[in-house]
Structure 1
């Protein structure tokens, strides 16, 4: 583990040298480090070190090329440590946080903050979680963002894809990633379609709410700035959480999700995902501020569900402003902003044109991401920053 920590630090330095001073400087730095780490007599130049490293940790589909060249050995080592070498002069993409294998025994990430593992248990069961604590945290009250992953995902994957940990360094906040247990759902989906898992004080909502409350107490979170968001099944569960615990969450972010009580069993869940039916009239988010993202080419969860969420959530007489834009060279989108009678933004709907079932603006390090944007993570955080619970 100590060797991994040192090598990761050196690779980051080598990445910076490669960008500023070229491959020669980066290679020299790696050579110096390997010479100090290799057993006596093992060092016979760059190529020998490369062979030794491949013996320790062979790469899949490794090519039998001149690994002593900067074009082979250096990028290979950088890639092993999660640092992607630039192509054709492109900017280096540094990891937002340490790769999964570079984790201390206590579960915290090596850099930049701490990525802690834990679990929560109540009458409804036990769920694991990961909690990102940014470097700016020194015991002061910070906002908390709860992130609910989609099917087949886990907290590490979801954190990587959404880049929320890196954003939490820029805009200090704690980020909680509850983990669905495979024993509860074979595909690790949150069970948004089960009646028991749509009720306050029962099932998975009680676990997620209890976990949220435990983190609030343990880390002195600003209780007025607690938010929840999710993707797909996680987005549907985020709607349930906002509906069931309106006093706990100040705003809800839904990405490619479904409205509250859209289903009560698996067949009705499949129908809802295809866009069938309409939202229950008396099932509403009780005017909790929401931001909704959906792709109009989503073939997994029909984009009509985004409209259904808005129908459930909108306060009466909310004024709407429609804006059209494009995320740089990425997807065009239509953004509908709703304001209450006092002119405060209470809801936003982003319909992203040509996009499917993936987190917009996400990193390819995670699953179900679309890097073309718009940047859903940044936009959600921007929206959350404008929302807080009224002092009681």
Structure 2
């Protein structure tokens, strides 16, 4: 894909009114994670992959959104592959998210498709708690992300039992909102440096960890009759207010606590929580020439894993891991962090909407 020619824009009929949020995010140096398919890109421009990138446009009453679909090497129309939906953050594009995160390289190796929704470099509106963007049928960004997911699934013969949603920064807020509004589309959820359902970028920084589970009933109510236990993956740096920074801050930590509480409401135990942190599963490691990290897990009483929480010591607001290309590294991602693309896929692939290899996702 010719970078100079790639202009992914959102053409909306509604008002965005997010200039103040964008200014705040820029000042904080926050994460900019960042019909028939139209073929695309040269292999060396495909975010570390050797397949192709298709540029598509989703049209709805909300307007039009361009988006990218990564098609892994040797894909055939008869293939029925999983789908990884990857939401960028404020101030970036789908192409920048793709090239920074290098999820495509994992997609080649593990055989899945990747969709990159785009909104022209603006924040996804769940980050400011926009009601239309956090509800099913509200006409906002949750509907747009769900629509792109459905359109991609239809156009590429996706295995709809194995669709996963990841988001970073404002994309993480939107991923939480979309997973709650459309749980019937997603088998598992991933969040990088962003908040849970019902929070915005200010409230998640200022609430306490004890308050986070109190938002779980809102998520359950939004999921409604389509609700299912939602496996979830979180990762954030200890120097990031939207990540794992100690108070004030810690949005992704509170998202973890909220989603754990949400799953416990959806599958309550008879004498306490069904899903609990499992200290025996906690491991720590070190990226060579990079950051130390800790990985925690929660499991059901049967030992079934439901979550992973990654804490990256000393990292700021960035997609952990990814490219070393100086055009992206340091702005859109931090290659000194763990390989989020590979680790998130390793987590996601355990789960399916119908229950998969475990009973956690059913």
Pair in the same fold by TM > 0.5: yes
Structure 2 CA distance for aligned equivalents of residues 110 and 102 of structure 1: 13
Match of 1:49 in 2: none
What SS does the corresponding residue of 1:243 show, helix, strand or coil? helix
Higher RCO structure (Cα 8 Å, ≥6 apart): 2
Q: Specify the SS of the correspondent of 2:257.
A: helix
Matched position secondary structure for 2:176: helix
Q: For the residues of structure 2 that align with 1:159 and 1:241, how far apart are their CA atoms?
A: 20
Cα separation, 1, equivalents of 2:335 and 2:2: 19
Give 1:153's aligned residue: 92
Residue 253 of structure 2: aligned partner: 307
Count of residue pairs brought into register by the alignment: 284
Task: Give the one of 257, 264, 267 matched to 2:194.
Answer: 257
State how 1:1-392 maps to structure 2 within 5 Å: 100=3, 106-111=38-43, 112-139=50-77, 140-181=79-120, 188-192=122-126, 193-202=129-138, 203-263=140-200, 269-273=201-205, 278-279=211-212, 280-284=215-219, 287-299=229-241, 303=245, 304-314=250-260, 315=264, 316-319=273-276, 320=278, 321-365=281-325, 366=328, 367-390=331-354
Are 2:93 and 2:120, in contact at CA under 8 Å, matched by a contact in 1?
A: no
Query: CA-to-partner distance for each residue in 1:297-336, whole Å, 9 max, x for gaps?
Result: 1145564222211222113332413222222332111211
Q: Distance in 1 between matches of 2:319 and 2:114?
A: 17
* 1:114-154 CA distance string (max 9 Å, x none): 11111112223321101111123102100100000011110
- Which stretches in structure 1 are left out of the alignment for 5+ residues? 1-97, 183-187, 264-268
Q: State the SS of the aligned residue for 1:334.
A: strand
How far off is 1:284 after superposition? 3.3
Q: Give TM-score scaled by structure 1 length.
A: 0.68
Aligned CA-pair RMSD: 2.3
The superposition leaves residues 79-116 of structure 1 with CA deviations (integer Å, 9 ceiling, x where unpaired) of: xxxxxxxxxxxxxxxxxxx663599x945112232111
* Per-residue Cα deviation, 1:272-294 (whole angstroms, up to 9, x for no partner): 34556833241336530000001
Q: Which runs of 5+ in 2 are unaligned?
A: 7-36, 44-49, 221-227, 265-272, 356-361
**8 A Cα contact 1:362 1:370, kept in partner:** yes
Q: Is the 8 A contact 1:113 1:134 kept in 2?
A: yes
After superposition, give the CA deviation of every residue in 1:175-212 in whole Å (9 maximum; x if it has no partner). 00000135xxxxx1100121111101221111111111
Equivalent position SS for 1:292:
strand
